[in-house]
Amino acid sequence: MAQTSLETYITEHESRFLDDLKEWLRIPSISTLPEHAGDIRRAAEYAANQLRTIGFEHVELVATQGHPLVYADWLKAEGKPTVLIYGHYDVQPVDPIDLWQTPPFEPAERDGNLYARGACDDKGQTMLVLKALEALMRTAGSLPVNVRVLIEGEEENGGEAVEHFVRTASHRLACDAALICDTHMPSAENPALISGLRGIIYTEVEVRGARQDLHSGSYGGVAPNPLHTLAIIISRLKDAEGHIHIPGLYDRLRQPTAAEKTFWQQDPLHMNESLLEEMGVTQFTGEAEYPPLERIWGRPTLEVHGIVGGFTGEGAKTVIPAVAKAKISMRLPADLSADEVFTLFERTVHDYAPAGVIVSVRKIHTGEGVLVAPDSQAVAAATAALQETYGKEPVFMREGGSIPIAALFDAILHAPVVLMGFGLPDDNLHAPNEKFSLAQYYKGIRTVARFLQHMA
């Protein structure tokens, strides 16, 4: 009965649900650009008003050192579990603006998709949760479980405020499970739950040679060349076959489950093909003895993102730079602690540096990975909800990227984290023409509502 009326309510209100999202998307809440501070606040208030209208008891804009957090709770489901729901209202910048087919802050429907900055990441995925809460409240007069909502405004800009809040006000976030709606599915036909995310260390390695830049004619042969030193260090850290040579790194890496191994090996959803196509290449690089999906999801990796120093203009200048720097990051399966790996990394960089230069390693930031326990009630509830909406069992898969808030919930709140997202691989996150499938938006509303019912 309740189920029918929930379905009816959602169907009847789809059009308004879309309008509410569009109105939110028109606010250019770009968190990295100071000139959008006013928009950031308006976007936060818009979310708070939505929560008040739904009937949340306590709705608050939490002031921080940066952009405000939206916090709300409804805790009247006595004896029922508490679910913490996370989203973010800030969006990425829009450059290059001229590649957008329609303006990024004027939401436009085309071919069953809604195009706008934030359409998917993460206003779309946050709004679908709010609409699920609304539908539950309007049809049952209450929510099936206790709910806390936390929506941040700095996800695209480091997320310091929310981290501080989680660490210092964890009692206000006490919960039995957390839902993060900020990931994607392999395709519209294949629902997924994310079972693991990699952590990250992001570093800058600086090499200093001579006191000042030198001329390669006068000194080439006896002068330290920091760019060459970086090449030596980088090639020793990771060889041409993708093996990382940091003593101790692989010691704590645990074996994946048998199910994961099979999935990675057999690639039942043909994700390898999509990866090659997305990259525009004909072969994978990296550790040939592991399947490509394992290389991205289950193995530590090391990448160089940029090297500075010397001369990079047009033509020729024969300078040996005094200083050169490389940005190097590592992605880490959850078994590997970011801080421990940073210590190993730093020590190894020094070990690999040739004599005659001064090497220093700076930690720019770190974030832990996360592995979701597959046997929690929350995962069972999410599985059932996806199965009901999509008519198909979800796959459990990892993602190669990092969502630090997931690890934080895991570590600080000790709550199982459900990473259930409705994005698709072609949603153009962080790029021009970001979009969200309308069908996924509506299915997402239904799935989250069912998930909360199953949690009761």
- 228 token code pair: 């060459």
In this chain, which stretch among 40-48, 81-89, 311-319, 374-382 interacts with its own copies, using CB under 8 A?
311-319
Q: Which of 33, 37, 108, 231 binds its own copies (CB under 8 A)?
A: 231
Handedness of CA 204, 208, 212, 216 (dihedral sign): negative
Tell me the site size for its own copies, rule CB under 8 A: 78
Q: Which of 234, 253, 384, 412 binds its own copies (CB under 8 A)?
A: 234
CB closer to its own copies, 183 vs 447: 183
CB closer to its own copies, 57 vs 278: 278
Cα–Cα dist 315/331, whole Å: 36
Question: Residue 166: is it exposed, middle or buried by C-beta count within 10 angstroms (0-12/13-18/19+)?
Answer: buried
- The upper half-sphere exposure of residue 53, i.e. CA atoms within 13 Å in the direction of its Cβ, equals 11
To the nearest whole angstrom, how small is the minimum distance from the Cβ of residue 327 to its own copies?
A: 6
Residues 235-264 that bind its own copies (CB under 8 A): 235-236, 238-242
To the nearest whole angstrom, how small is the minimum distance from the Cβ of residue 316 to its own copies?
A: 4
Residue 77, number of CB atoms within 10 A of its CB? 18
CB closer to its own copies, 144 vs 196: 196
Cα–Cα dist 368/197, whole Å: 9
- 110 token code pair: 């085309």
To the nearest whole angstrom, how small is the minimum distance from the Cβ of residue 268 to its own copies?
A: 18
Contacts of 141 (CB under 8 A, 6+ apart): none
Contacts of 36 (CB under 8 A, 6+ apart): 28, 29, 30
Q: Which of 11, 265, 318, 377 binds its own copies (CB under 8 A)?
A: 318
Kindly state whether residue 220 participates in binding its own copies, applying the rule CB under 8 A: yes
Task: Calculate helix-pair angle for 226-237, 338-352, nearest 10 degrees.
Answer: 130
Binding mask 65-104 for its own copies (x = CB under 8 A): ----------------------------------------
Kindly state whether residue 34 participates in binding its own copies, applying the rule CB under 8 A: no
| DSSP notation for 124-168 | HHHHHHHHHHHHHHHHHSS-SSEEEEEEES-GGGT-HHHHHHHHH
Kindly state whether residue 222 participates in binding its own copies, applying the rule CB under 8 A: yes
Q: Which of 299, 398, 450, 454 binds its own copies (CB under 8 A)?
A: 299
Residues 411-450 that bind its own copies (CB under 8 A): 430
Q: Taking phi first (over 0 means left), then psi (-120 to 50 degrees means alpha), and beta for anything else, what does residue 52 get?
A: alpha
Cα–Cα dist 106/37, whole Å: 19
Q: Which of 140, 210, 253, 384 binds its own copies (CB under 8 A)?
A: 210
Q: Which of 29, 113, 225, 437 binds its own copies (CB under 8 A)?
A: 225
Kindly state whether residue 269 participates in binding its own copies, applying the rule CB under 8 A: no
Residues 359-418 that bind its own copies (CB under 8 A): 364-365, 399-402
Kindly state whether residue 186 participates in binding its own copies, applying the rule CB under 8 A: no
To the nearest whole angstrom, how small is the minimum distance from the Cβ of residue 131 to its own copies?
A: 28
